[in-house]
Every structure is written in structure tokens, then in C-alpha cells.
């Protein structure tokens, strides 16, 4: 392996030590799950070819869902897709009437990333790229830039908010030509869904519509076509922490969100969404729980049910659900070796632990946690990095002596954060 830059090393190590997924450098620690990665890459290729995709990535807390989604996100950007991503929470969900769905859309737009802008904030660059390509067409055809823009956006007017969308892009172009930074900023605000009322949008831009809670999915379909017109291959939407829908206490609110999920699934599988892919990350409870999970909504249960023949070691990755397989002990050994290599900056001579120490560390964790230590590896990885940190900052320390003092906690995830369901049939009481 080649040397690793200190910036990349610190970004990966600090993220893993905090128990979060690094935003870059995923390739340095990727192990196993080849079939799952190949499946999602085939989805990326389908989206790039003008098709659509819908996948649910299911795994336990700490099993690596977020890492897997970030890895796929990086691959999508390399394939010239525009990528947006967000985590669901009580203030951001698929369907709402109090602005939570629009808040999710605004977060997606702020996170927009491309190969040249991988850290987000790429929306103005995508709009500029579209305008540059429209100017090239206008110069060759003798049209004005605005005429060329409106002609290219004509196909979008058949979609919800399509005419207003085209109008906002034209206003951005006009503002760019005269140097009106305020009008450009207002146009980007509209595209990001940051106007809360139609009155505010009309005062700022002269348009009568805004991106509302009910329009989020339609706006994403519109945006997917627009980024293709701008020269990109398509749009990939990554939504993590879907378990927050499972945690909604109100049955009606949950079902409304599952209904929106059903609409996304139907449009994706029926091909009515062009160049648009969805990847959702959730826990088994979110999907399989028949009381509050996705399976409580019969229409979704029928479409997302598992292949009954895929058991006893047999797998089927052609369905919309991809269950993350557990890392094997061998995979985990390779992973810890890669972390040791990253910590040493890519220099084998600076390794703080020998190979035998990694084996001993795995034995220690196995005695404490059983197979959970590589099925949900987050806390184990954190403990391993903590051990490396102590050895690094205290030269001469005996790793064998430190090994017995390592405390490795079982990763219980966010189960304790789930709100109590008022509709739950079982209630606790005291006499």
C-alpha cells in the first residue's frame, strides 16, 4: 500500500474513533460484502442509463449501513451522478403537513454533491453547468440564452412545478448576466425549497408556487431530469435513519409516510421516474415489524417480501431489499489490519501492533461479546483505535498488558430512544 496523507489518515481515524462514518477514504477500510456492492453498482448503472432504482439496505445498529451508503454515494459520484443524502429525524420525514417534508428536501439540496464538489453545496454549480451548455447551444443556433434555456426545459413543464422550475432557472440566468447576486441567491433558495410561503416567494422572485410538503417527491423527479439536461448521468437519493419512521408514535402519520414510500417504490419499479435512484438505510425492526414497521402497511409488505427460496445460505439480490450480511471473522481481521495501517500513515515500519496482537484482540472481544463483535463492529473498532492511541502516546507500553484492560460494550444502538407508542397493546402499570 502507498503512504497515506496525514489529512486523510486523521479524517478516517477521528471519525471511526467517534463511532461515525468518515466522509472520505471509505475505500481504505472497505472489506467484504462484494455481492452487495455489485448489486448497488448495477443500480447506479441503470440510473445512469436513464432508468430508475429503489433499494432498502437493512442491517442492525452498528452493522455498517451508513458506511455502506457512503461507499455507494462515492461510487455514484465517480459514475457522474449527482448525489443528495440526508438522515431522517422527527423534523425531517417523507410526508408531513407542518413543513417536515420540505425540511427534508431542503437538507437534501444543501447536501447535493458531484465528483468535483464531493462535500455538498453543489446546486449552484449544477445550475451554472446547465446555463453554460445552454449558452453554447444558443451561440450555435443564433437564439438568445433565455430562449435556449426555455426550449431545453420544455420537457420539464409536463411535471408538477415544471413550468415554475423553468422560470426560476431563467431568472437565475438573467440575474447572472446583469450581476444581480440577490436574485441569483433567491433563485437558489427557491430551488432548495427554503421559501416557507408563496407570498415570500412572490415578493423575492415573482413566482406563485413553492416546493411544499406535498411536492417533495415530484420535485425530486423534476430535479433528476434537470441534472441530466445539465450533463450529469442522473440523481441518486440516499436516505438514512429510516427507523425514525418506525418511531413515529402516531399511526396515521406513520402510514402517510409509508404511503409516500409506496409511491416512490411504484414509480421507480414502473419506470416513470427517469434517471432517479433511491437508497434507504434502516434496521430490521423498521422493515419487518408487523405492528409499526413497513410490513404493517400491507401494500408495501407484498412488494418488499423476501424470496422464500433464499434461505439456508442461498441469496437473492434482485429484489428491492438488500440485507447486509455479517462480516466474517476473516473480514474483521483484514479490517483491523487496515485500521492499523491507516493509523501508521501507510508505513508498515510504524505499526504499533504485530499481527499476533490483532488475533489476541479478536479473541478478547469474542469472549466478551460473542459473534456480535464482528456482526455489529462499531464499538469494537472504537476500542481498537483507543488501544492504538494509548500505545502511540505512551511509548514502551506493553500491548499484552493493556489488552486485558479493554472494555468492549455491546452496541445497543438507539433502541432506548424509541418513543412510547400510545397505541401499544401492552402497557406497564403498578399497584
pLDDT at 338 > cutoff 80: yes
For the chain, the domain total comes to: 3
Please tell me whether residues 253 and 304 are part of one structural domain. yes
pLDDT at 420 > cutoff 60: no
Say how far apart CA 368 and CA 373 lie, in whole Å. Answer: 8
Q: Domain limits at 254?
A: 29-118+217-323
Provide the CATH number for the domain around residue 267.
3.40.50.300
Say how far apart CA 21 and CA 24 lie, in whole Å. Answer: 9
pTM of the model: 0.84
Please tell me whether residues 312 and 237 are part of one structural domain. yes
Please tell me whether residues 84 and 103 are part of one structural domain. yes
Please tell me whether residues 286 and 342 are part of one structural domain. no
pLDDT value, residue 428: 46
pLDDT at 431 > cutoff 50: no
pLDDT value, residue 21: 77
Please tell me whether residues 38 and 24 are part of one structural domain. no
- Is pLDDT larger for residue 23 or for residue 164? 164
pLDDT class for 106, splitting at 50, 70, 90? very high
> Could you tell me the three cell numbers for 179?
450581476
Residue 226 included in any domain: yes
Please tell me whether residues 23 and 35 are part of one structural domain. no
pLDDT class for 81, splitting at 50, 70, 90? very high
Residue 235: strand, helix, or coil:
strand
Residue 250 included in any domain: yes
Please tell me whether residues 308 and 367 are part of one structural domain. no
275-302 pLDDT, tens digit per residue, is 999 999 999 999 999 999 999 999 999 8
Nearest to 404 by CA among 349, 356, 377, 365: 365
Arithmetic mean of pLDDT over the chain: 85
Nearest to 322 by CA among 373, 286, 281: 281
- Final residue of a structural domain among 323, 348, 382: 323
- Final residue of a structural domain among 323, 358, 389: 323
pLDDT at 209 > cutoff 80: yes
Residue 277: strand, helix, or coil:
strand
Q: What average pLDDT score do residues 193-222 get? A: 92
Residue 425 included in any domain: no
Please tell me whether residues 8 and 41 are part of one structural domain. no
pLDDT at 192 > cutoff 90: yes
pLDDT value, residue 9: 87
153-176 pLDDT, tens digit per residue, is 888 888 888 889 989 998 998 898
Please tell me whether residues 112 and 130 are part of one structural domain. no
Please tell me whether residues 221 and 311 are part of one structural domain. yes
DSSP state of 295: G
Residue 236 included in any domain: yes
Residue 244 included in any domain: yes
Per DSSP, the chain holds a count of helices (H) and strands (E) of 19, 5
Residue 235 included in any domain: yes
pLDDT value, residue 27: 79
Residue 85: strand, helix, or coil:
strand
pLDDT at 144 > cutoff 90: no
Residue with cell 500505545: 391
Amino acid at each position: 500500500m502507498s503512504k497515506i496523507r496525514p489529512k486523510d489518515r486523521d479524517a478516517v481515524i477521528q471519525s471511526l474513533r467517534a463511532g461515525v462514518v468518515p466522509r472520505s477514504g471509505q475505500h481504505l477500510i472497505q472489506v467484504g460484502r462484494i455481492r452487495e456492492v455489485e448489486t448497488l453498482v448495477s443500480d447506479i448503472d441503470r440510473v445512469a442509463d436513464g432508468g430508475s432504482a429503489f433499494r432498502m439496505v437493512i442491517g442492525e445498529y452498528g452493522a455498517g449501513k451508513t458506511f455502506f451508503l457512503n461507499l455507494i454515494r462515492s461510487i455514484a459520484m465517480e459514475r457522474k451522478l449527482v448525489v443528495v443524502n440526508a438522515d431522517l429525524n422527527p423534523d425531517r420525514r417523507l410526508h408531513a403537513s407542518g413543513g417536515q417534508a420540505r425540511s427534508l428536501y431542503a437538507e437534501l439540496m444543501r447536501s447535493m454533491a458531484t465528483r468535483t464538489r464531493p462535500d455538498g453545496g453543489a446546486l449552484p454549480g449544477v445550475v451554472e453547468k446547465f446555463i453554460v451548455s445552454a449558452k453554447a447551444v444558443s451561440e450555435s443556433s443564433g437564439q438568445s440564452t433565455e430562449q435556449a434555456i426555455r426550449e431545453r426545459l420544455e420537457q420539464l413543464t409536463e411535471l408538477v412545478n415544471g413550468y415554475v422550475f423553468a422560470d426560476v432557472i431563467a431568472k437565475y440566468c438573467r440575474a447572472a448576466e446583469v450581476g444581480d447576486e440577490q436574485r441569483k441567491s433567491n433563485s437558489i433558495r427557491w430551488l432548495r425549497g427554503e421559501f416557507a410561503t408563496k407570498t415570500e416567494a412572490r415578493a423575492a422572485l415573482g413566482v406563485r408556487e413553492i416546493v411544499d410538503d406535498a411536492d417533495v417527491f415530484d420535485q425530486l423527479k423534476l430535479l433528476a431530469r434537470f441534472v441530466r439536461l445539465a450533463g450529469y448521468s442522473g440523481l441518486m437519493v440516499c436516505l438514512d435513519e429510516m427507523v425514525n419512521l418506525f418511531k413515529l408514535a402516531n399511526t396515521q402519520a406513520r402510514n402517510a409516510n409509508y404511503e409516500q414510500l409506496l409511491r416512490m417504490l411504484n414509480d421507480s419499479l414502473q419506470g416513470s421516474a427517469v434517471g432517479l435512484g433511491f437508497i434507504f438505510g434502516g434496521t430490521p425492526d423498521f422493515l419487518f415489524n408487523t405492528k409499526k414497521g413497513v410490513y404493517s402497511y400491507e401494500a408495501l409488505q407484498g412488494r418488499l417480501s423476501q424470496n422464500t427460496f433464499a434461505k439456508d445460505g442461498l441469496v437473492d439480490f434482485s429484489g428491492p431489499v438488500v440485507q447486509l450480511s455479517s462480516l466474517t471473522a476473516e473480514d474483521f481481521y483484514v479490517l483491523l489490519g487496515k485500521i492499523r495501517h491507516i493509523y501508521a500513515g501507510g508505513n508498515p515500519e510504524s505499526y504499533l501492533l504485530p499481527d499476533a496482537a490483532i488475533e489476541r484482540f479478536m479473541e478478547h472481544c469474542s469472549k466478551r461479546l460473542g459473534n456480535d463483535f464482528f456482526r455489529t463492529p462499531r464499538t469494537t473498532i472504537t476500542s481498537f483505535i483507543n488501544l492504538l492511541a494509548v500505545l502511540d502516546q505512551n511509548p514502551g507500553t506493553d500491548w499484552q498488558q493493556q489488552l486485558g484492560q479493554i472494555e468492549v460494550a455491546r452496541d445497543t444502538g438507539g433502541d432506548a430512544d424509541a418513543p412510547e407508542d400510545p397505541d401499544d397493546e401492552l402497557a406497564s402499570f403498578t399497584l
